[in-house]
């Protein structure tokens, strides 16, 4: 390996679910430590699948995948110690918080991971309190997760991952269904985590947020191949590319006034 600092290295990876058409074709991709990467693409292009391959929840069908300097495959995950270590390093936050919250109280939800990793109980308690404080959700501690609001659920889901202190944080459409204020909060959190040295990989449809939560963007086309892999700023200014992969339509445009750039989706053109 020429580059020792990579986290994920995909070599000609393809993937398909049993009895279905391929969802990813010929993926070549390197993610380095400390990056902020965003995966873009139209619905159904394979973004979530790519994220799940990274987080070790799915395993590649063909090609090779290296992570943290070793080759990773279905076989390596049969080793329980390897699996646990891997999942501790790579935290995955699901698009649908409902599937991620399966314990009966928030405290137990957050404790699930550390307890599975056999941390001492005292330390587990401390960590729970720290994480609850960090996300300012201490008042939810004894509540039942599935009766919380959408935003609260997302926070608890994030807490349940952060408590494991992962090096890489993978978020599948994290801002989906959140109100603007909570979206803002999430962006700030991700930036802070990135500054603290965590690698952040997200997938999103929210083009307004892409520039804030990533330096680099990877676009997957509707043919399930990588259509582009470049700096976010470059990709965002290439409106033709975004149109080609069916992410936006002709009404999409950007504003460049006052040194501030942002993106808009309109159903009509404006002056």
Partner 1 sequence: MHIPDGYLSVQTSVPAFGAMVPVWTAAVRKLKKTMELRQVPLVSLCAAFAFVIMMFNVPIGPSSVHAIGAVFIAVLIGPWASCLSITVALVIQALVFGDGGILALGANCFNMAFVMPFAGYYIFRFLKGKADIISKRGMFSVFIASYVGINLAALFTAIEFGIQPLLFKTASGTPLYGFFPLWVSIPAIMSEHLLIAGPIEGLITVSAIAYIARFNPKMIVRTTARQSEMKENISFFKRYKAILIAFGIIAVLTPLGMLATGTAWGEWSTGQIKNMVGYVPKGLSKLSGIWKSLFPGYSLDKGSDGFLGSSLGYLLCAIIGIIIIAALMLLINRLILGKRKLNSEKNDGDNTASSGTKEKQEAGFPEWMLVQDSVDILPSKASKTGFLKRTMNSVSKFIQNDLLSERYARKEGFVQSLDVRVKLVFILFYMVFTGITGSLALIIATAVFSVLLAAFSKLEMKSYFKRVWLVFPLIIFVFSIPAATNILISGKPLLFIYKGVNTQGWLLGLPGDLYFSIEGVTAVLKTVFRIGTCISFGYLLVMTTGWSRLTGSFSFIKVPALVTSMLDMTYRYIFVLTRLTINLFESRFQRTVGKISGRENRKFISGGIAYLFVKSSHISEETYNAMIGRGYDGKSVCLEVSKIKRNDLLFTAFNLIAISIIIMGDKILGK
Q: Which is nearer to partner 1, 120 or 259 (CB)?
A: 120
Task: Count Cβ atoms below 10 Å from residue 132 Cβ, excluding itself.
Answer: 21
Judged on CB neighbours under 10 Å (0-12, 13-18, 19+), 30 is: middle
* Residue 20 binds partner 1, judged by CB under 8 A: yes
Minimum CB separation from partner 1 for residue 72, in Å? Answer: 14
* Residue 140 binds partner 1, judged by CB under 8 A: no
Q: Are 60 and 35 in contact (CB under 8 A)?
A: no
Minimum CB separation from partner 1 for residue 145, in Å? Answer: 8
3-state class of 99 per DSSP?
helix
- DSSP tally for the chain: helices H, then strands E: 10, 12
CA of residue 137 relative to chain centroid, distance = 22
State how far the Cα of 80 lies from the Cα of 85, in Å rounded to an integer: 9
* Residue 80 binds partner 1, judged by CB under 8 A: yes
Q: Are 25 and 6 in contact (CB under 8 A)?
A: no
The region of 31-39, 90-98, 196-204, 228-236 touching partner 1 under the rule CB under 8 A is 90-98
The pair phi, psi for residue 101, each rounded to 5°, is -105, 105
Q: Build a one-symbol-per-residue string for 160-199: x at contacts with partner 1 by CB under 8 A, - elsewhere.
A: xx--x-----------------------------------
The region of 27-35, 131-139, 144-152, 182-190 touching partner 1 under the rule CB under 8 A is 144-152
Angle, vertex CA 174, rays to CA 59 and CA 136, nearest 5: 120
State how far the Cα of 77 lies from the Cα of 134, in Å rounded to an integer: 32
User: Which member of 12, 28, 73, 116 binds partner 1 (CB under 8 A)?
Assistant: 116
* Residue 260 binds partner 1, judged by CB under 8 A: no
Q: Which is nearer to partner 1, 124 or 245 (CB)?
A: 124
* Residue 211 binds partner 1, judged by CB under 8 A: no
Q: Which residues contact partner 1 by CB under 8 A? A: 17-20, 52, 55-57, 80, 83-84, 87-88, 91-92, 94, 96, 98-105, 107-108, 111-113, 115-117, 121, 124, 144, 146-147, 160-161, 164
């Amino acid at each position: 390996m020429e580059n020792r600092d990579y986290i994920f290295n995909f070599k000609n990876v393809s993937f398909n679910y049993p009895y279905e058409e391929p969802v990813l074709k010929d993926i070549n991709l390197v993610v380095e430590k400390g990056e902020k990467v965003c995966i873009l693409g139209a619905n159904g292009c394979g973004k979530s699948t790519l994220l799940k391959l990274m987080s070790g929840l799915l395993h590649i069908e063909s090609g090779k995948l290296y992570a943290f300097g070793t080759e990773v495959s279905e076989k390596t995950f049969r080793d329980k110690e390897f699996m646990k270590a891997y999942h501790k390093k790579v935290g995955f936050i699901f698009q649908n918080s409902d599937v991620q919250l399966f314990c009966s109280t928030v405290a137990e939800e957050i404790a699930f991971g550390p307890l599975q990793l056999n941390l001492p109980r005292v330390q587990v308690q401390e960590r729970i309190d720290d994480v609850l404080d960090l996300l300012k959700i201490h008042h939810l501690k004894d509540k039942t997760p599935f009766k919380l609001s959408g935003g609260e659920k997302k926070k608890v889901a994030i807490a349940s991952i952060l408590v494991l202190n992962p090096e890489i944080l993978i978020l599948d459409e994290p801002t989906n269904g959140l109100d603007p204020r909570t979206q803002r909060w999430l962006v700030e959190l991700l930036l802070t985590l990135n500054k603290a040295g965590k690698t952040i990989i997200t997938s999103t449809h929210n083009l307004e947020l892409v520039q804030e939560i990533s330096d680099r963007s990877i676009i997957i086309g509707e043919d399930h191949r990588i259509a582009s892999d470049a700096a976010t700023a470059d990709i965002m200014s290439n409106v033709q590319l975004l149109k080609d992969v069916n992410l936006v339509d002709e009404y999409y445009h950007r504003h460049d006034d006052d040194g501030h750039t942002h993106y808009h989706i309109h159903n009509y053109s404006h002056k």
